[in-house]
Amino acid sequence: MDREILERVLKNALKEKAVVYIYNDTAQKDEHYGGFVKLVTKDFVVMQVVLSDARSSGYLITRLDTIFRIDSGGHVAKRLELLYALNGEEHAVFELSAFGNLFVNVIKMALQNKIAIAVLLNQDEERETLNGFIRHFADEHVVLEDFDDDAQSYGEIHFELAAILDINIGTRDLHNLTLLYERGFLE
């Protein structure tokens, strides 16, 4: 997608506080994220994710160069905006430095504050989502302890920063994972 057009659409959505839908996984072309744009940098977008039932669901951080389609305007987006407002939905405050690589910034923040994140990886055209806690980060190497929905560990997963397609933080599922992990569910 043309970078200039993409940035213009995202910045306009940010200014107008309008819902957009972005598609960034070419392996699953029907999969998308909907929500409000919070930040646009020269390489990244941060989006307040809104589920199809108009509930807030954390934040998405993704690289602009992975977005191959963006939908703006339209009946479905307007409906989502209205229901989000009518239901009094809000996103938790999420402050992230806009300087440098936003993936690095989120990973460092998650490591320092012990915050669960979801990472979508692209490894040899295979897609995989990991949910858990960053255990180590050095240069371009990330170590994440991956968990299932019951907070049972799959062990530590090692991957390179370049393999990340997007990161989600503050979702309801990640909140539930954190609660179960802290409680020691099923130990």
What percent of the chain clears pLDDT 90, i.e. is strictly above it? 82
Q: How high is the pLDDT of residue 187?
A: 58
Work out the pLDDT band at 175, boundaries 50, 70, 90: very high
User: For the whole model, what pTM was predicted?
Assistant: 0.93
Cα(62)–Cα(120) distance, integer angstroms = 10
Q: Supply the CATH number for residue 38's domain.
A: 2.30.30.100
Task: List helix spans (H) across 74-171.
Answer: 74-86, 102-113
Residue 71, domain extent: 3-86
Cα(26)–Cα(45) distance, integer angstroms = 18
What average pLDDT does range 139-143 have in this prediction? 95
Both 79 and 106 in one domain: the answer is no
Average pLDDT value over all residues in the chain: 94
Q: How high is the pLDDT of residue 124?
A: 76
Both 71 and 124 in one domain: the answer is no
Q: How high is the pLDDT of residue 25?
A: 84
